[in-house]
Structure 1
Amino acid sequence: MAFFALKLGTKINILKATKLVYLADRLSIERRDHAITNDSYVSMPFGPVNTNTYDYMNGKGSIRQNEWSSFISNRAGYDLPLAKGVTLGSLDELSRSDLKILEDTWEQFKDIDKYELAEWTHRFCPEWQNPGESSIPIEFSTIFRKLKKSDPGEMAEEIAAERKLRLDLLAG
């Protein structure tokens, strides 16, 4: 999120940010079989959404909200402002390949309006389903299958096992 806000200067529209973060994760899954954010996904009316990232955007992150706040300030209307002092060097938890994917995502979509970007995800992210006024979970196996990965079920199980291990480590 902070990467894209930096690209725009000091803030980014929440809808555009939501789409860019999802598209960066999707590109990462396509290239490396894992996402940058380690998030979960849902189909919402304006396209696919990273669920935990969306919660953080709205100040409702379940854990590590303080870490989020060191990069992104509280939502201001429909914008997400950068926290003071954030630079590209502040994003040192991102690997070079993460940064490459973020840069590639930015280059592809930077000139697309937020609503056009939402429409783009409806047309070109076949894992998205129209949820009406609600949301529908997007399973990793579905994303892998839509990206034509060889064994989507097994790949999704590996991600689930990694997540469980991370949660166990966080729980101490």
Structure 2
Amino acid sequence: MTIKFRFHPEKAVEAAAILLKLHGKPMKYIGLLKMLYIADRLALKTMDQPITGDRYVSMDYGPVLRGVYDLIKGQPVDSALPLWSKYISPRDSNYVDLLQYPGNEELCEEEEMILKQVYETFGHLDPFLVEELCEEEEMILKQVYETFGHLDPFLVAEWTHDLPEWKDPHGSAIPILVEDVLRSMGKTEEEIEDISQEAQREAYLDGALPKIFG
């Protein structure tokens, strides 16, 4: 069974807000997309689960978070667009900006550090809604920003072309399986199965708890 994580719009907004706050000015949206994907990938490697839970696709400029990309374009993703629009500006040409900072209670420290590391590497070469993220997630985001936040977004896109899971879509969008990302990191089939089971348990609980307590 294909691994499918639940998309967490609150955490996606918080993660984007952290990167934009670290940047301190409008950011090219392609750079934001690249760093959020890298952060999700690092979280999968270190925590066995992503930050956003979004779907991944191969596009011309590398791997992309499908839901976040749609939100940047102003397209509805379930009920996430009003939340996204409250904190992240509409796309202006090729840029997005932080409208207000929501905090960082949802990201864990590791996730925040990953984001900061990625930004520091890629965020400055050109151009925190944090109540959903655990401490580890916040650390991941910070690490990602520290690593990537100072680089030209198109250099980051070229870097992501070297990731094993990316396939040239020739102008389209090809889904990226979580299993392929995990295998490219050296995860064993047993570890992948454990991650799959945990994702299924989370999906079941997300569906069952509202029925019990609603």
Q: TM-score normalized by structure 2?
A: 0.72
- What residue in structure 2 maps to residue 105 of structure 1? 144
One-letter amino acid of the counterpart of residue 19, structure 1: K
The alpha carbon displacement at 1:156 in A equals 3.5
The alpha carbon displacement at 1:157 in A equals 5.1
- What residue in structure 2 maps to residue 14 of structure 1? 29
SS of the equivalent of 1:70 reads helix
- For structure 2, the residue ranges without an aligned partner over 5 or more in a row are 1-15, 105-128
- What residue in structure 1 maps to residue 153 of structure 2? 114
How many residues get paired? 170
- What residue in structure 2 maps to residue 51 of structure 1? 66
Please, what is the CA RMSD of the aligned residues?
Answer: 2.0
Could you tell me which of 70, 79, 104 is aligned with 2:95? 79
CA 1:153–1:99: 2 relative to 1, 3 Å: closer
CA 1:73–1:47: 2 relative to 1, 3 Å: same
The alpha carbon displacement at 1:163 in A equals 3.6
Q: TM-score normalized by structure 1?
A: 0.89
Could you tell me which of 50, 57, 82 is aligned with 1:35? 50
The alpha carbon displacement at 1:161 in A equals 4.9
- For structure 1, the residue ranges without an aligned partner over 5 or more in a row are none
Matched, 1:94 2:133: yes
**Aligned-residue identity in percent:** 33
TM alignment of 1:142-153, pairs within 5 A? 142-151=180-189, 153=192
- What residue in structure 2 maps to residue 60 of structure 1? 75
Preserved contact between residue 11 and residue 79 of structure 1 (Cα < 8 Å): yes
Preserved contact between residue 4 and residue 12 of structure 1 (Cα < 8 Å): no
TM alignment of 1:150-161, pairs within 5 A? 150-151=188-189, 153-154=192-193, 155-156=195-196, 158-161=198-201
CA 1:2–1:153: 2 relative to 1, 3 Å: same
The alpha carbon displacement at 1:160 in A equals 4.6
